[in-house]
Structure 1
Amino acid sequence: MIKKLLFILIGCIANSVFAQCPTSLIVLETQADVDAFQSTYPNCTQILNGLQIGPATGSSDINNLNNLQGLVQLDGGLNILNNPLLNDLTAFSTLTQLEDIYLFNNPGITSFNGFQGITSVNDIKLEQSFVTDFSGLSNIDDVHKLWIVDDTVLNDLSGLNQLVILNFLELDNTRLTSINSFDLVDQVEWMIIKDNDFLTSIDGFGTMTMVDNLSILRNSQLSTISQSFQSLRHIQNNLIIKGNTNLSDISGFSSIQTVDTIQLDQMIGSQDLSFFNTIIQLRILRVTRVDSITSLNGLQNALTLTYISIENNPLLSDINAIGGSDANFLTGMRIIGNPLLAICDIPVVCNYLSGSASTATINGNATGCASEQEIANECELNVISGTIYYDTNGSGDYSPATDAVVPYYKVFSTHSTGTSTTFSKAYGDYSNYVGTGNINTDVEDLAMFAFTPANGFNNNFTGYGNVASGDFEAQTTNTVQDVSIDLIATIATRPGFTAGYKLIAINKGSVPVSGTIELPYNSNLFTYQTSVPAASTVSTGMLNWSYNLGPFERLRIDVEFLVAQPPVLIGGETETWTATINPIPGDANPQDNVFYYNNNIVNSYDPNDKTVFEGAEILPTELDKYLHYRIRFQNTGTASAINVTVKDTLSDNLDWDTFEPIDMSHDVGEIHIKNKRFIDFDFPNINLQDSTTNEPLSHGYIYYRIKPKQNLVIGDFIDNTAYIYFDFNEAIITNTATTTIVQTLSNSDDKLLKISLYPNPVADIVQLQTSEKIDFAVIMNLQGQSLIETTDKDINVSNLDTGVYFIRVTSDNKSQVLKFIKK
């Protein structure tokens, strides 16, 4: 009984002593705070929720940490910030357990002397640090994350060569001249070495066998990676070597066997890739702006490539090494801007171009490899082309002078390996690339038209290089009147600036139609300036145009308004426009005679963007209606763009069969559907002016509509992103336009995930209040454009313009959309 009472007494004493440490973060911002530590927290030896020494901003007067002696355990992070007078850390010599350490802007701390009792630490983070001596960490062999950034004195890491376990390493903007440590580390998850302008070589990592991601970026003096990574066999994801403009030797990677992605970009490089000859598994290959490379020799064993990008390599003349890769695995190919590359008809390229899923972009190379058509001729690929028209004069054949062409109409060629789909261009002509064997090419009949030949036409191609032609003539089956109107913004609506809009009137019927187009506008917010063609009548708040359209004919009207300045109109507001085409009585499809457009007012904008006009939310009852998408692009370079290509990615939640192009800014536009997921919009010889020479003519756009799949449910969302290529430059990636299926619009009361927002309205930080784990959250504007993506529950929205926004929160495959106001 006495022993039992003694144990209870000892336990009470221990708990009493431990209780002197607070349960929250301890912040010591001044020397007085440090000196008072032992009296404020008597007998505190185990800190469980973090210790901050120094202020988060400004500077402290702390010059010694003597009164912190005696600490044994420090969990939750040790943050030492902004202490210009502090010279050593020996007060921590009694520590035996430390979770994380973060040093920021402490000029007098040059060593880790005082941490000799620590054997393991989770994270070491040094930012604007002055540490040059790591010997105090000599007993540590296990670090989860080592992060050194913006260090102006460190030039050696030799004090860390005892590390055995290192999961994450980032060296960013240091004065390191070489990296010769970490020879005991076997595996690393992430490694980032970037912007170290004094780094000339990387020699460490001699025993490392596996890494998940390895990025070596923009180290301007780095010239060799020849003695390191000799044991590296497997890279789970990415090997990215980019922006190291003096790097010529990367032979240190000569043992790699499997890697998901290799990206070599902006380097001198060697003549070939022979040091990669051990690679037997590679999925994505990108070789861009490698100045000295002449061939891809070394990649002969990479037989399962899924994406190939070979761009702007001035001396490259031979890509035969990748010819044996199986084209059935490929989902994309870009061979662009290699002026000495004349031979591209290697098996993988030919086989890929001949397939229905080809998304190849090939241009800017030497003759023989300057275009898909040139390679098709060399590979003997087959082309079917023709014109789609309406025989207005009854001649029985196509007469360009009198017959009406049918633009933007789907043509599909069906063969044994799938279907190749294209659309007629602005003047009714089309070209479709196909493979071999029996092929049927046809178009879909319209409600009031049938096409001849009734079942399309057949070709039987043996081998490649065949060119066939076939026209489709629309014939009237009944007399139907059907006109439609669309309205899109071509110049973003910004308070105090000129806004541009385009009306698109289309006669979809079988008879000529005359009537009027009406565009009312809010004259308190918009001042009419001009339109082309000119309006028939102009009055305050109303514009009218008279029209006369034959079958399949289109009328495009450009309108400009001066937008009111704040505070009359501010960014974040929405202005509704309604365009009407008359007559409506007797029209076969009166619902498309009126078009509603909720126009988002912005303060600034990206000229290369993607917008879904229906916005960030739709109801389940709207799944049978079209979503309207607009992609804008602008040449902001210093010379005209000869060719522009826009690659659009269709969400899996969209019904590909309902895709319908409505309009494009330039008549040279071509459309090709790839694998029911990708759409290529090609503008060959567009000669798009640059914005410095002619700002109005530097813009272009694509406008189409498509329906969601009918089986979507509440919480499903539709994400779309476009990739814009100007000549041989890298892609400009647009925002992601997102639309979510919701139970009620702006459903802040939706309890699917039991999430609420606080505060709302918000100025700086909006909090997601929920007990659920957040997988990710996306903040969108009223047009469905993704602005912020995060996994945090506290989200900084201070950089957003004033206005209304949606946030879609996803957790465990459930999704909820809420609305908030940014003040």
Structure 2
Amino acid sequence: ASGASQSLFWFENLAVTNDRIVGRVFNDLNGDGEFNGLDHGLYNIPVHVAGLGTTWTNHSGVYQLAAPAGTHQVTLSTPSGWAVNGPSTRSASVAAPSFTALDQDFPMTTTTIQGNLDVELTSSPLRCDQQVPYWLTVTNTGNQVSDVWVTLQLDPHSTFVSASPQPDTVIAGSPAWSIPALQPTHHRVIDLEVHLPDWQYMGVLLSDQASAQASVQGYPLGTFLGQLQQVLTCSYDPNDKRVSPAGQGSEGLVAVGTSLEYTVRFQNTGSAPAWDVRIIDLLDQQLDPASVRVLASSHAMQAELSESGELSFLFERINLPDSASDPSGSQGFVTFLVDHLPGIAEGAEVTNTASIYFDANPAIVTNTVLNTLTYGVVGIAEAGL
């Protein structure tokens, strides 16, 4: 799976309207509980408002969620390696005259030093003998500023064409990039073009891998991997849903306790650019809404999760080109991870479908993916597809 050339959850023109709760989650470097000095926002941090739902912070650490008049309990989900410099739950009053609760901030400080990266690799649907977009996302999931060196190793049947930003090196067809001073919780995304093998390889499993090495002030922290395995096809639906692991057989057998990674891919096949794209994904009732983690997306967007388990992704004002004028630029995706609820029964079936809206057009409904939970042994090769 993988990411965006702009930051996830970027509110490009953050206009605060009435009936909202607004605040910031930030790295409180001087420990004074105020956003000042060298403090910086923490990105992609879930904030829950009881009875209303969950939203995620943007690249500046800002969150906002629509809320009716009244007093609401706002709770921060504290990431590993961090502590709130103050209460993790606070009361927010939405009342006259503004009907907006501002400055509902959560200052954060580090606890134990952690140096981790998340590497996500995603592509558009595969097409024989075609050039298709790939997205490589590297996220600093630790709590230290890290220097990163990331390398992409494509399947031997595929060919690297180009990337933005351009790689620092290309050795034997494998591009590599330097990402200096990646802030905690933030990410960088590399947009790529890859040429796929022709029809003679239809049905072949293509395996791609990205590796990212992290260091802090010259001290190596480790190497972190991201893999993408897909079967090459020559016909495809440009708007689809994928799950990883896909599991074994038609039932999609996976072991109980497995986290499910869902990717929704979309393409504007209309005759004009799409100003906005919205994805609605109603979580299966056997999935745990509190465990949702947004991993990557192709464009800036805002995610929200309702109390009923409806997960929405709004790609606002992205002006997505149509496929005739810009085949690669007309495509996008979002990827998220979720766990099932504890105590799930043997043989439980977990399904997922998404609806994709381009501007005011009717929904495009994706295929439905299926996983069946089992306590039996699941083969690694089959489960990882």
3-state secondary structure, aligned to 1:709: coil
Output the amino acid matched with 1:473.
P
Structure number with higher helix proportion: 1
Show the counterpart of 1:411.
Answer: 47
Gaps of 5+ in 2: 1-14
3-state secondary structure, aligned to 2:329: helix
Contact 1:660 1:706 in 2 (8 A): yes
Q: Does 1:599 align with 2:236?
A: no
Contact 1:597 1:613 in 2 (8 A): no
Q: Distance in 2 between matches of 1:464 and 1:420?
A: 24
Pairwise CA distance, 1:554: 1.0
Aligned pair partner of 1:446 in 73, 76, 79: 79
Question: More displaced, 390-399 or 545-554?
Answer: 390-399
TM-score w.r.t. length of structure 1: 0.41
Pairwise CA distance, 1:411: 0.8
The 5 Å alignment of 1:279-318 reads none
Contact 1:600 1:782 in 2 (8 A): no
Cα 1:711/1:573, change in 2 over 3 Å: farther
Pairwise CA distance, 1:451: 2.5
Q: Does 1:658 align with 2:291?
A: yes
Show the counterpart of 1:679.
Answer: 311
Show the counterpart of 1:88.
Answer: none
Q: Does 1:483 align with 2:117?
A: yes
Contact 2:88 2:106 in 1 (8 A): no
Cα 1:633/1:426, change in 2 over 3 Å: farther
Contact 2:247 2:253 in 1 (8 A): no
Show the counterpart of 1:611.
Answer: 242
Aligned pair partner of 1:637 in 250, 253, 270: 270
Question: For the aligned residues, what is the CA RMSD?
Answer: 3.1
- 1:413-444 CA-to-partner distances (Å, cap 9, x unmatched) read 12xxx242211234432211223443221212
Contact 2:132 2:196 in 1 (8 A): yes
Q: Distance in 2 between matches of 1:714 and 1:613?
A: 19
Structure number with higher strand proportion: 2
Output the amino acid matched with 1:449.
W
Tell me the percent identity.
Answer: 26
Q: Distance in 1 between matches of 2:186 and 2:95?
A: 39
Between structure 1 and structure 2, the one with the greater Rg is 1
Aligned pair partner of 2:321 in 681, 685, 689: 689
Show the counterpart of 2:130.
Answer: 497
Pairwise CA distance, 1:402: 5.2
Show the counterpart of 1:551.
Answer: 184
Show the counterpart of 2:353.
Answer: 721
3-state secondary structure, aligned to 2:25: strand
Q: Which has the higher contact order (CA 8 A, sep 6+)?
A: 2
Q: Distance in 1 between matches of 2:196 and 2:95?
A: 61
Cα 1:464/1:717, change in 2 over 3 Å: farther
Cα 1:561/1:420, change in 2 over 3 Å: closer
Output the amino acid matched with 2:195.
L
Aligned pair partner of 1:702 in 312, 334, 344: 334
Pairwise CA distance, 1:456: 3.3
Q: Does 1:740 align with 2:377?
A: no
The 5 Å alignment of 1:289-438 reads 382-392=19-29, 397-398=34-35, 403-414=39-50, 418-438=51-71
Q: Distance in 1 between matches of 2:38 and 2:240?
A: 38
Q: Distance in 2 between matches of 1:427 and 1:459?
A: 21
Pairwise CA distance, 1:527: 1.6
Cα 1:499/1:699, change in 2 over 3 Å: closer
Q: Distance in 1 between matches of 2:129 and 2:27?
A: 46
Q: Distance in 2 between matches of 1:691 and 1:655?
A: 36
Aligned pair partner of 1:577 in 190, 193, 208: 208
Contact 1:521 1:577 in 2 (8 A): yes
Pairwise CA distance, 1:731: 0.7
Output the amino acid matched with 1:561.
V
3-state secondary structure, aligned to 1:697: coil
- 1:668-727 CA-to-partner distances (Å, cap 9, x unmatched) read x11111224211112232222222333332222111111223433443221111111112
Gaps of 5+ in 1: 1-372, 747-780, 785-823
Cα 1:500/1:655, change in 2 over 3 Å: same
Q: Distance in 2 between matches of 1:684 and 1:484?
A: 26
TM-score w.r.t. length of structure 2: 0.83
The 5 Å alignment of 1:85-104 reads none
- 1:628-679 CA-to-partner distances (Å, cap 9, x unmatched) read 1111122222222222211111112212111001122222x11111224211
